[in-house]
Amino acid sequence: MKYEEMEAEDNVSTVMQFVPLGFSDLPNHQGLLFVVFCRIYIIILTGNSLIIVITRFDPALQKLMYFFLANFSSLEICYVSVTLPRILVNLWTQDRSISVLNCAAQMCFFLILGATECFLLAVMAYDRYVDICNPLHYPLVMNQKTCIQLAVGSWISGIPVQIGQTCQIFSLHFCNSNQINHFFCDIPPIQKLACGDTSVHKLSFYGVALLFIARPFMLILTSYNKIICSILRLPTARGRTKAFSTYSSHLLVVILFFGSVTITYLRPKSSHSAGTDKLLSLFYTIVTPMFNPMIYRLRNKDVIAALRKVLLKNSTMHLFISIFTGCHRVIRETF
């Protein structure tokens, strides 16, 4: 891959394009990887789109809880579409180059949507906390206006900060190499290419990560601590089991997402490994969105019933019933 650069006035080379290495270390498996990731993308789009459709049109799901589920499904589609189509193009064409502008745009949207997911998971945890711990006040606290405000706030809160962080990163000079040892444009691998002192930028990055990752995660843990305490006070074992089954799904999604993100962005620099970072990035950008519809939404009996109702209207879609009910059965038996 040709390394395009331009000489700046201060004799520092400025990169004109980046080259995400991705799966370049597996040259004999590019076709197989393309097929695998293409199928994963189709599964993510199909699963989350079905959730959006049934929560929008099924009268039984016209509840505020499912309003957040539809938002989360929409977010997952946007989130994975920032990175996965580019990975597929790279695998298909073997041309991994990406302009600095496109790289900056990808990073900016990825960070904004990542922040949205952190906030939206926290909002959903708070919604469940109010439902379990203050059921009589739930209609007053979580009314339609409040839910819309919380959803909109989750989508837009990270925009100014992440735009600023992206501009800060791409104001650096990149003079060592243009090869990103990653699948997409993310802050840590791009910072490694910068020349000069980047300590201020790294400190700023950790501060933003604490704001958008640690604070929502602590709110989620607090909410679920109170939820678990309330469940344990239920009089019957059957009631406790049913409650744990209902709310453990969201907690599992939280652990999968925040666990991989925290290890990637907040662990000490000395323990960073490019291979580990790449593996974890695949986990929270692709694997988790793929399993979220099965782990979270399809453990809900109302959602499953609505899904059957929608799909049975079209005989050509019967296959989806067996796929999703089979996945649901596996998930229930596993978790």
DSSP state of 17: E
Instruction: Give the orientation angle of helix 318-334 with respect to helix 288-295, to 10 degrees.
Output: 90
Backbone angles phi, psi at 106, to 5 degrees: -60, -45
Q: Flag whether pLDDT at 3 surpasses 80.
A: no
Residue 12 is predicted with a pLDDT of 45
Q: For residue 114, name the pLDDT band (cuts at 50, 70, 90).
A: very high
Mean pLDDT, residues 43-61? 79
Identify the helix (H) or strand (E) that includes residue 98. strand 98-99
Closest CA to 308 of 322, 294, 293: 322
Cβ–Cβ < 8 Å for 125, 222: no
Cβ–Cβ < 8 Å for 222, 89: no
Q: Flag whether pLDDT at 37 surpasses 50.
A: yes
Measured between alpha carbons, how far is 121 from 104 in angstroms, rounded to an integer?
Answer: 26
**Model pLDDT for residues 205-225, shown as the tens digit of each residue:** 888 888 888 889 999 989 888
Q: For residue 30, name the pLDDT band (cuts at 50, 70, 90).
A: confident
Residue 107 is predicted with a pLDDT of 93
Q: For residue 1, name the pLDDT band (cuts at 50, 70, 90).
A: very low
Bin 196: left if φ > 0, else alpha if -120 < ψ < 50, else beta. Answer: left
Backbone angles phi, psi at 194, to 5 degrees: -75, 145
- How many CA atoms does the CB half-sphere of 169 hold within 13 Å? 28
Range of lowest pLDDT (4-13, 81-90, 114-123) = 4-13
**Model pLDDT for residues 166-186, shown as the tens digit of each residue:** 998 888 887 767 888 888 888
Query: DSSP 3-state helix, strand, coil percentages of the chain (rounded to 5)?
Result: 75, 5, 20
CATH code: domain of residue 129: 1.20.1070.10
Q: For residue 272, name the pLDDT band (cuts at 50, 70, 90).
A: low
- Dihedral sign computed on CA atoms, order 329, 330, 334, 335: negative
- Here the tokens at position 209 are 């990560």
Q: Quote the number of domains for the chain.
A: 1
Closest CA to 300 of 256, 225, 250, 261: 250
Cβ–Cβ < 8 Å for 110, 82: yes
Cβ–Cβ < 8 Å for 23, 91: yes
Residue 58 is predicted with a pLDDT of 67
Identify the helix (H) or strand (E) that includes residue 179. strand 179-180
Domain residues for the domain of 250 are 5-334
